Structure 1
Amino acid sequence: MAVSVWSLGNPELGGWGLWLSPRRQPLFAWHGPTQRLRALVSLAGVALLMALWLLWLLQSSPGGAPMPQPTLTILIWHWPFTYPPPELPSNTCTSYGVARCHLSTNRSLLATADAVVFHHRELRDGWIRLPLAERPRGQPWVWASMESPSNSHGVSDFRGIFNWVLSYRRDSDIFVPYGRLEPREGPAPPLPPKDRVAAWVVSNFRERQRRVQLYRQLAPHLQVDVFGRANRRPLCASCLLPTVSRYRFYLSFENSQHRDYITEKLWRNALAAGAVPVVLGPPRATYEAFVPPDAFVHVDDFGSARELAAFLTGMNESSYRRYFAWRDRLRVRLVEDWRERFCAICARYPHLPRSQVYQDLQGWFQS
């Protein structure tokens, strides 16, 4: 709809009017100084509305320039397991593919931070206290933990406090797995040569754990070389992958069995090392949500440890190689850095519920 101003008669007599073209029907007309002033105000209002309308069209059109988004500030109240915290340059999250995200450990930003993160281990051990009295109204607080419920005591102390959860659980507000498979660019590297059967790296070795019980049952039927503090054969960080790569199988046994709890024991110790993981953790269907079904051996598929051992030792080379078919098109992406995990808050921020509160955090976590 076009708008035109047309003169009517002698301008000195105040004969002006606002018309709609092309039919030239008068929107309004006026005569005299008072009417002219009122009409000018109305005209200015019409012009403002038209400008706003054009701006809306520009923003909503595919080629329109989007409005710049503000930079989010994520305050980490205490860096997990570490003091002092790492350096956090301004491009920290940009390096992980997340723009306009500023991580900080400066507690003086509490009043202005867009979200504040609290790691459970420091809360549980009393190293930090929640600044409840200084909490700004409506500020989202994030409870973060990558441990299983069996190793996360004291969660029941935090009822009605946290708005969002960052964890390995797929139903977390900020879901951060220990690793994932991504499309591979270029050919896969050759599989490391194998001259040994099975390896296991373990530090937390307790007889009540199911993984220890299963190992006891496997040991008479399967040669398993055990490394780690539990066996007084620790491996340095740079030694782990070269050591495990010589083995056909790796025992990716989780320390406890919980929903979605799949850790670096699968991603780094087995898949990244080039060994077939023999997994003990959540059900097979959960693992298949992360990796192809023919990329691992699940202990639940066998009626006994002896049956499992017979399957592993009786596998021929052709069958063994099929467990690595995924490597032709996928590669392992480890998510081990807490900086990357915290940057994920910004990526999820626009989609997170603002009014949500975990009234029973422990009930949710143990479900």
Structure 2
Amino acid sequence: MLGLAVPRCWGPWRAWSGASLFSALWLLWLFWEAPGGAPAPQRTLTILVWNWPFARRPPELRSDTCARLGVAHCTLSTNRSLLALADAVVFHHRELQTGQARLPLAQRPPGQPWVWASLESPSHTHGLHRFRGVFNWVLSYRRDSDIFMPYGRLEPRAGPAPPVPAKSKVAAWVVSNFQAHQRRVQLYRQLAPHLPVDVFGQANRRPLCADCLLPTVARYRFYLAFENSQHRDYVTEKFWHNALAAGTVPVVLGPPRASYEALVPADAFVHVDDFGSARELAAFLRGMNESQYRSYFRWREWFQVQRVASWEQRFCAICTRYPHLPRDQVYQDLQGWFQA
């Protein structure tokens, strides 16, 4: 069973309920603006990135990196000699987890905020018990993070929406990590007998180049935006890039529907939990008429997808939030918080 079946009614488009609209506007405001209308700090802040994510050597950072991304009075640096002078230091968890990076606890200046950063799910995050009482702030995809950093967001569209790409096939899925114990694999195997699904990626020896992914997926009516694990607020590029940006309807397996509705209109996606079985889900997808299908794209009239893809953008956002974050906060049980 996928969950309790939820009846759906078709009629006038109702995606932007008051709650959904409020949630979306609140997220845009939170990301770009300082709460309370307080002015941005005029003093230039220095954010020291102790270990650059997934890199043996840090990139060359321009002095105006943050300014070019729209964040003033903010400097990113990977120069560890600035530890004593940095306004905040950010540590990416993967390198701490693997031992490629270590915390400079003995050299930590008193009162200096340290930021724990990770976009991985709890299923792929280990060793947090070692960091009790170390970090002050968290940068992650969790909406209750100190620096909320989603994989993508909707932003207002400046011009007319492009047409929905022409469809010639039913459903696509791009997957590299294919393991029998994953819920997404189990669901796919239940769904495949009832729904034509073309599988791409390393798992099926049909990889798609970076420039091939979106044009390929765009030909399909649906994309299986199945997360590798189901956790609170864990909505990745599979949803934002592979589906919404490609111009297809995502069929999502991840956190509960409410987590998605806090990010996009309620009728921008199909959630597997709304159906009692894979057969019922397949019947719903195959039985959808053209009018019903088109209703899933109404959000494109007002919004477009903005993918948050660069670590420079994520780390510069620390400066935006900096004046409004609690200086006396310490995560005494980071593991308990993140795995909740």
| Bucket of the pairwise TM-score, normalised by the shorter protein | 0.7 to 0.9
**Among 176, 179, 183, which residue is 1:206 paired with?**
179
Q: Report whether the alignment pairs 1:313 with 2:273.
A: no
Report the TM-score when normalising by structure 1: 0.81
1:343 equivalent among 290, 295, 316: 316
**Equivalent residue in structure 2 for 1:244, among 206, 209, 217:** 217
Structure 1 residue 85: Cα displacement: 1.8
Q: Per the alignment, do residues 68 and 142 of structure 1 end up closer, same or farther by CA in structure 2, a change over 3 Å counting?
A: closer
1:185 aligned onto 2:191: no
1:86 aligns with 2:63: no
Range that drifts further, 90-99 or 170-179 = 90-99
CA contact (8 A) 2:137 2:147 kept: yes
| Match 1:256 to one of 229, 234, 237 | 229
Aligned to 1:146, which of 119, 124, 127? 119
Deviates more, 1:87-96 or 1:164-173: 87-96
1:233 equivalenced with 2:206 (yes/no): yes
Quote the offset at 1:95 in angstroms. 2.1
* Separation of aligned partners in 2, 1:92 and 1:241: 28
The reply to whether residue 300 of structure 1 matches residue 273 of structure 2 is yes
| 2:257 pairs with one of 284, 290, 293 | 284
1:352 to 2:325 alignment: yes
User: By how many angstroms is 1:96 displaced?
Assistant: 2.0
* Alpha-carbon distance in 2 for matches of 1:121, 1:341: 16
Q: Structure 1, residues 143-169: CA drift from partner, whole Å, max 9, x if none?
A: 000000001011111111011000000
Task: Give the drift of 1:88.
Answer: 1.3
Query: Structure 2 length as normaliser, TM-score?
Result: 0.87
Q: Which aligned pairs between 1:1-367 and structure 2 lie closer than 5 A?
A: 69-367=42-340
- Residue 67 of structure 1 and its aligned partner are, at CA, apart by 10
Report the RMSD for the aligned CA atoms in angstroms: 1.1
Cα distance in structure 1, aligned partners of 2:132 and 2:198: 44
Cα distance change on mapping 1:75 and 1:68 into 2, 3 Å: closer
Q: 2: CA distance between counterparts of 1:295 and 1:241?
A: 18
Residues 310/68 of structure 1: CA separation in 2 closer, same or farther (3 Å cut)? closer
SS in 2 for 1:128: coil
CA distance in 1, matches of 2:202, 2:332: 39
Structure 1 distance, partners of 2:190, 2:48, is 47
Name the CA distance, whole Å, in 2 between partners of 1:354 and 1:252.
38
Distance in 2 between residues matched to 1:305 and 1:67, nearest whole Å: 50
TM-superposed deviation, 1:68: 7.3
Counterpart of 2:216, as a letter, is: T
Change (3 A) 1:275 1:149: same
What is the distance in 2 between the residues matched to 1:67 and 1:115? Answer: 16
Quote how far apart the aligned CAs of 1:318 are: 1.0
SS in 1 for 2:65: coil
- Count residues in correspondence: 302
CA distance in 2, matches of 1:171, 1:209: 26
**Structure 2 Cα separation of the partners of residues 362 and 67 of structure 1:** 32
Aligned structure 1 segments of 4 or more residues deviating by more than 4 angstroms: none
Q: Aligned equivalents of 1:235 and 1:82: distance in 2?
A: 23
Which residue identity lines up with residue 179 of structure 1 in the other structure?
G
Q: What is the CA–CA distance in structure 1 between the aligned matches of 2:108 and 2:306, rounded to whole Å?
A: 36
Higher RCO, 1 vs 2 (CA within 8 Å, ≥6 residues apart): 2
Tell me, in whole angstroms, the C-alpha distance in 1 between the residues paired with 2:258 and 2:43: 40
**Matched letter for residue 81 of structure 1:** F
Shift of 1:83: 2.8
Instruction: Name the aligned partner's letter for residue 274 of structure 1.
Output: G
Instruction: Show structure 2 runs of 5+ residues with no match.
Output: 1-38
Q: Deviations 1:220-257 (Å, cap 9, x if unpaired)?
A: 00111111111111111111111101110000001111
CA contact 2:40–2:320 (8 Å) conserved in 1: no
Q: CA deviation at 1:204?
A: 1.1
**Could you tell me which residue of structure 2 aligns to residue 46 of structure 1?**
none
Whether the 8 Å contact between 2:69 and 2:313 is mirrored in structure 1 is yes
Contact 2:41 2:73 in 1 (8 A): no
**1-structure distance, mates of 2:291, 2:185:** 31
Given that residues 267 and 295 in structure 2 are in contact (C-alpha distance below 8 angstroms), is that contact kept between their aligned partners in structure 1? yes
Q: Distance in 1 between matches of 2:128 and 2:242?
A: 29
* 2:230 alignment partner, SS class: coil
| CA distance in 2: counterparts of 1:337 and 1:195, whole angstroms | 33
